[in-house]
Chains A and B, each alone.
Chain A
Amino acid sequence: MHPAPSPRAVEPTTRHHRTAFPASGLRRRLLAALVAVPLALAAAACGDDGGGGAAADPNKPVELSIFWWGAEGRAKLTEEALALYTKKHPNVTFKKTWQANQGYFDKLATLTAGGDAPDIFQIDDNYLTEYASRNVTLDLMSYKDSGKLDVSKFPESLWNYGVVDGKLAGVAFGENTQGLVFNKTLLDKFKLPVPTTGQSWDEHIAWAANVSKTAKVPGTQDPSADYKAFWVWLRQQGKDLYKDKALGFTEQDVAGWFTLWQGARTAGATPTPDVIHEGNVTDISKQLVVTGKAGTSWVWANQMPELKKNTKDELGVVAYPGDPSAQWARASMYFSVFRGTEHKDIAVDVINFLSNDPEAAKVLGTDRGLPSNLDIRKAVSETVSDANMKQSIAVQTELGAKFGASPQVPLKGHSKVRSELIKAAEEVQFGRQSPAEAAKAYFAACQAAIGA
Chain B
Amino acid sequence: MAISTAPPAALPTGPASPGPASRRGRGGPRRRENLAGYVFLSPWLLGLMGITAIPMLLSLYLSFTNYDALSPFSEVEWIGLDNYRTMFTSDPSFWHAVEVTVTFALIAVPLKLAAALGVALLLNRAFRGVGLFRGLFYLPSLLGGSVALAIVWVNMFNRDGAFNSLLGLFGVEGAPWVNDPRWSLETLMALAIWQFGAPMVIFLAGLKQIPVELYEAASVDGANAWRQFRAVTLPMLSPVIFFNLVLETINGFQGFTAAFVLSNGTGGPVDSTLMYTLNLYIKGFTELQMGYASALAWVFLVAIALITVVLFSTGRFWVHYADGEDR
Say yes or no for B145: interface residue by CB 8 A criterion. no
Are B73 and A430 closer than 8 Å at their CB atoms?
no
Cβ B70 vs Cβ A131 within 8 A = yes
Measuring CB to CB, which residues of chain A are less than 8 angstroms from any residue of chain B?
Answer: 1, 4, 6, 8-10, 33-34, 37-39, 41-42, 45-46, 102-103, 105-106, 109-110, 112-113, 115, 130-131, 134-136, 272-275, 277-278, 280-282, 415-416, 419, 422-423, 426-427, 430, 432
**Given A6-B28, A274-B179, A281-B264: A112 touches B69 (CB 8 Å cut-off):** yes
Partner of A430, one of B58, B70, B269: B269
- Extra contacts, 20 of them, besides A102-B265, A131-B70, A134-B68 (Cβ < 8 A), are A4-B27, A9-B27, A45-B74, A46-B74, A103-B265, A106-B286, A109-B69, A109-B285, A113-B69, A115-B72, A136-B70, A273-B269, A274-B179, A274-B180, A278-B179, A419-B286, A422-B268, A426-B270, A430-B270, A432-B181
Q: Looking at A109, A135, A274, A426, which has the most chain B CB atoms within 10 Å of its CB?
A: A274
CB distance from B159 to the nearest CB of A (A): 6
**Interface residue SS majority, chain B:** loop
Given A42-B73, A102-B265: A130 touches B270 (CB 8 Å cut-off): no
* A135-B72 Cα distance, complex, nearest whole Å: 9
Q: Which residue of B lies closest to A45 (CB)?
A: B72
Is the pair B73, A45 in contact by a Cβ cutoff of 8 Å? Answer: yes
Tell yes or no: B244 within 8 A of A by CB: no
Q: Does B245 contact A (CB under 8 A)?
A: no
CB contact list, B45-94 vs A, under 8 A? 54, 57-58, 61, 68-74
CB pairs A–B below 8 angstroms (19 shown) = A4-B27, A6-B27, A9-B27, A9-B31, A37-B58, A106-B286, A110-B69, A112-B69, A130-B70, A135-B71, A272-B176, A273-B180, A274-B179, A277-B179, A280-B268, A281-B263, A423-B268, A423-B270, A430-B180
Inter-chain CA distance A130–B159, complex, in Å, is 38
Instruction: Determine the chain A residues whose CB is within 8 A of the CB of B57 once the complex forms.
Output: 34
**Quick one: CB contact mask for B257-269 with A, threshold 8 Å, 1 for yes?**
0000001111011
Quick check: is B33 within 8 A (CB to CB) of the other chain? no
Binary interface encoding of chain B residues 151-192 relative to chain A, with 1 for a CB under 8 A from any of its CBs, else 0: 000000001000000000000000010011100000000000
Residue of A with least CB distance to B27: A6
Contact A282 B264 (CB under 8 A): yes
Does the CB pair A109–B71 fall under 8 Å?
Answer: no
Residues of B within 8 A of A103 (CB): 265
B271 nearest in chain A by CB position: A423
| Residues of chain A contacted by B270 (CB below 8 angstroms) | 423, 426-427, 430, 432
Q: Are B266 and A422 in touch, CB under 8 angstroms?
A: yes
- Asked if B290 lies at the interface with its beta carbon under 8 angstroms from chain A, I say yes
Do the beta carbons of B69 and A102 come within 8 Å of each other? no
Name the contact of B54 in the complex, choosing from A34, A110, A273, A422 (C-beta under 8 A).
Answer: A34
Contact B27 A109 (CB under 8 A): no
Neighbour of B159 across the interface among A134, A274, A419, CB < 8 A = A274
Q: Are A42 and B285 in contact (CB under 8 A)?
A: no
Residue on A with the closest CB to B178? A274
Is A109 touching B73 in the complex (CB atoms < 8 A)? no
Known: A112-B69, A274-B159. A426 touches B268 (CB 8 A): yes
